[in-house]
Structure 1
Amino acid sequence: MPSTVAFPFSDDEALPTIPIILSHAGFSVSANGLLDTGSTINLLPYDIGLQLGTNWEEQTVRLPLAGNLARVEARGLFVHVEIGNLEPVRLAFAWAQASQVPLILGQTNFFREFDVCFERSQRIIEITRF
């Protein structure tokens, strides 16, 4: 049975973000994730990966980034993500070796795990997990 949670679409933000809790190796971090339907991958900033107790050198899967992040090195990392009262899900991230990048929730694999409805005129973002 599907579960849905709704978040306000903030008037002071130009882009849709939602509060999430990331967990890895016994550590948890609260952050705002940018919902980016045009991003092929989930992207995790370097400093958040460190807060999750992750060691850069231990992550051996290298991932190429594109566009304005093409020069940034990234490594694959699986993280559990909680969104509101929905059941936590394990998501794959490209952990960027740069802290000035946003935490992005993209097609692989956020939008494969969740249905998202942007109701901008109603100022609501609905996230559904099946």
Structure 2
Amino acid sequence: MPSTIEFPFSADEALLTIPIALSHADFSISANALLDTGSTVNLLTYSIGVQLGAIWEEQTVRLPLAGNLATVEARGLFAHVQIGTLEPVRLAFAWAQVSQIPFILGQTNFFREFDVCFQRSRRTIEIIRL
């Protein structure tokens, strides 16, 4: 049976973010992640990867980015994500070698693991763990 959690958002918020807990190896951090249905991949900033104890040179899978990040090098990195009281899930990230970008949850594979419902009239974001 799916589990659900709701987050409030302000009507004047331009970008919808949710608080998450992120862990990799023996490290964990809390961060706000942008929900981006138009993003092909989950995108992790370089600084967050370092905070999680990841070592750039040890990540051997290179991932091409597109759009305004096409010239940025990215490597594959797995991390566990927990949203509120929902069960943690292992997600794949494109770990970009820049920090001046948003931390993004995208189609691969956040939106394959969760259903998300934006309810503007109620000013809530409903996250459903599949």
TM-score (norm 1): 0.98
Using the alignment, how far apart are the partners of 1:120 and 1:72 within structure 2? Answer: 34
Deviating beyond 4 angstroms after TM superposition, the runs of 4 or more aligned structure 1 residues are none
What is the CA–CA distance in structure 2 between the aligned matches of 1:13 and 1:95, rounded to whole Å? 26
| C-alpha separation in 2, matches of 1:70 and 1:13 | 27
Would you say the 8 A contact 2:9–2:124 is kept in 1? Answer: yes
Q: Secondary structure at the match of 2:19?
A: strand
Q: Which residue of 1 aligns with 2:83?
A: 83
The alignment's C-alpha RMSD in Å is 0.8
> Does structure 1 residue 23 correspond to structure 2 residue 36?
no
Query: Percentage identity across aligned positions?
Result: 80
Alignment of 1:59-78 (within 5 A): 59-78=59-78
Residue deviations 1:1-21 (CA, integer Å, cap 9, x gap): 110000011345311100001
In 2, the alpha carbon distance for the partners of 1:121 and 1:73 equals 40
Runs of at least 5 residues in structure 2 that lack an aligned partner in the other structure: none
Greater Cα shift, 11-20 or 61-70: 11-20
Number of aligned residue pairs: give it: 130
Q: What are the superposed Cα offsets for residues 72-101 of structure 1, whole Å, 9 maximum, x if unpaired?
A: 100000000000000000000000000001
Check whether the contact 2:45–2:95 (CA below 8 A) recurs between aligned residues. yes
User: Where do 5+ consecutive residues of structure 1 fail to align?
Assistant: none
- Corresponding residue of 1:2: 2
Superposed counterparts of 1:34-113, under 5 Å: 34-113=34-113
* Partner residue, 2:116: 116
SS in 2 for 1:23: strand
Report the secondary structure of 2:34's partner residue.
Answer: strand
Aligned-partner residue type, residue 108 of structure 2: T
Residue 128 of structure 2: aligned partner = 128
